[in-house]
């Protein structure tokens, strides 16, 4: 028996996700091997603690203010008032603040810094043993998140697991993850989840992913609720544009 097959059997016997083991042991360190210039910019969510640096005042003192993003996704900034922060990158919020403050101040300057981020969780729904929200640290994969939710139920469609990722204030990227291949060792390419992503395990194989994703996220859907922290609060009107990025 080849050495690789022996290693694979040992990993399966220990109950450790194959893709996660391959990523952390057989390859260089993730942080060193990743092209960070291609990683999407961080988007602010309710519960984040922000620091707003307005630079030096006329008297030489430094004007730095701190605030928490409220559950409605807004912060209060004098003299502009309430400003929507959730769903924006720090740079987008910075540009918005400068534009708003220009009405009252001459050449306003501000730098937005995310001091503390809100809880980092991934939501696992559908045909798993314990649907719910689970911690999602760096480089947690779909397989690991499903395992944390107790694994798949017997009637789960292992070849049609969907990963919903918010990649913009109004856009969602949808990927199909074929866990059946991962579990057999035929495919070692798992997907890394991000904070507040949704993993949905259907009961039967899905045909048109675009149609299903639209229905899943649509206003009439009862699959999503306000209990999914960090998802609904991005967009209170629940208007999403979906893009299938992986069949």
> What is the model's pLDDT at position 152?
93
Report the C-alpha gap between 247 and 54 in whole angstroms.
46
- Element holding 13 (H helix, E strand): helix 3-14
Classify residue 159 by burial, with Cβ atoms within 10 Å: 0-12, 13-18, 19+.
Answer: middle
The pLDDT of 93-121, averaged and rounded, is 90
With a cut of 80, say whether residue 227 has pLDDT above it: no
Domain boundary assignment for the chain: 49-116, 119-246
Average pLDDT value for residue range 138-165:
90
Q: What is the pLDDT of residues 24-48, one digit of tens each?
A: 333 344 556 667 777 778 888 888 8
Fold of 119-246: Outer membrane lipoprotein wza fold like (3.10.560)
pLDDT at 36: 72
Phi-psi region of 47 (alpha: psi -120 to 50; beta: other; left: phi over 0): left
**Is residue 6 scored above 50 in pLDDT?**
no
pLDDT for the residue numbered 14:
36
State yes or no: pLDDT of 92 exceeds 90.
yes
The pLDDT of residue 184: 77
- Does residue 26 contact residue 196 with C-beta atoms inside 8 Å? no
- CATH classification (class only), 49-116: alpha beta
| Segment 144-153 mean pLDDT | 93
How remote is the C-alpha of 113 from its chain's centroid? 19
Question: Across residues 74-102, what is the average pLDDT?
Answer: 93
| 219-231 b/e (C-beta count within 10 Å ≥ 16 → b) | eeeeebeeebbbb
């Amino acid at each position: 028996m080849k050495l690789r097959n022996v290693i694979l059997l040992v990993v399966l016997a220990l109950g450790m996700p194959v893709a996660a083991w391959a990523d952390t042991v057989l390859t260089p360190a993730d942080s060193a091997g990743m092209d960070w210039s291609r990683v999407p910019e961080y988007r602010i969510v309710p519960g984040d603690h922000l620091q707003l640096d307005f630079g030096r005042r006329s008297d030489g003192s430094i004007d730095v203010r701190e605030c928490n993003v409220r559950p409605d996704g807004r912060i209060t900034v004098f003299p502009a008032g309430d400003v929507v922060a959730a769903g924006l990158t720090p740079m987008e919020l910075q540009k918005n603040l400068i534009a708003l403050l220009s009405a009252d101040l001459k050449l306003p300057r501000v730098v937005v810094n995310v001091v503390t981020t809100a809880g980092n969780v991934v939501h696992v729904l559908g045909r798993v043993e314990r649907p719910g929200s689970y911690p999602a640290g760096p480089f947690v994969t779909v397989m690991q998140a499903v395992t944390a939710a107790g694994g798949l139920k017997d009637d789960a469609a292992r070849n049609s697991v969907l990963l919903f990722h918010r990649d913009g204030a109004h856009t969602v990227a949808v990927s199909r993850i074929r866990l059946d291949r991962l579990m057999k060792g035929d495919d070692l390419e798992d997907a890394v989840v991000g904070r507040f992503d949704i993993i949905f395990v259907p009961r039967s194989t899905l045909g048109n992913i675009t149609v299903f994703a639209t229905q899943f996220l649509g206003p009439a859907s009862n699959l999503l609720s306000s209990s999914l922290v960090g998802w609904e609060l991005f967009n209170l009107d629940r208007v999403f544009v979906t893009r299938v990025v992986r069949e």
